[in-house]
Amino acid sequence: MKKQSRYQEIAIDLATLIINGHYEEGDKIPGSSSLATKYQVSSETIRKAFLILKEYGVVTSTQKNGIEIVNTKNAILFLDKNQEQTTFTSIRNQIDNAIESRMKLNKEISQLTFELVNQISSQRDIGIIHPMEIMIKDSSPLIGKTLNECEFWNFTKSTIIALKKEQIQCISPSPNTILKSGDTLVFVGKSNTYSKMIKYVNTGKGKKTDM
């Protein structure tokens, strides 16, 4: 997350004081040294804060009169503009965080899938068998559908753990993956799963259940 610089924070604080009536148009703002002490920063940082306010027409500066408030409305416009930028940055950071969380989740899913595959051989006593494969033929009605649309679990009680496309095996494929002729589904399930998969992949027919 990109943090605002200290001089930007000070400029916002000064603009807030202006619109809240702490300073009025025509008033003089304390000198750089006084504000530097107040905000515990260097005089250069205060100078940069004034430059921002000057660009927005909030203050003016002369060697004789120092820093003078010239337009309260411009202070409001400055704060509105800053709020828009802050909101945009906040949304962008939320998106970045969501993407990072999704990447971590995908990594965790892939790791768990690998662990599932490694454990399958030791689970034969409860009816689970080795990963099974079935190729999608040209006549399959599932061609053009996504894995999510096919609902393999609901129709066959099988779990798709990988997908082979043109000799490339994708572990834990995305639900949005579109099936094509020649793709090979790698799945696991109970002993009667394979016959259900053959029927469903070749005909698109199967008994849909929720359990």
User: 160-202 pLDDT, tens per residue?
Assistant: 888 888 777 788 888 899 999 999 998 888 777 888 888 999 9
Residue 150's domain comprises: 127-203
Distances (CA, A) of 28 to 10, 14, 25, 32, 65: 17, 12, 9, 12, 8
Say whether both 173 and 115 belong to one domain. no
Residue 208, domain member (yes or no): no
Q: Given this model, what pLDDT does residue 136 score?
A: 92
Name residue 55's amino acid: E
Say whether both 44 and 131 belong to one domain. no
Count the domains in the chain.
2
Dihedral sign for Cα atoms in the order 160, 163, 169, 173: negative
Say whether both 184 and 149 belong to one domain. yes
Q: Given this model, what pLDDT does residue 3 score?
A: 57
Averaged over 76-103, what is the pLDDT?
A: 70
Residue 35, domain member (yes or no): yes
Residue 2, domain member (yes or no): yes
Say whether both 11 and 97 belong to one domain. yes
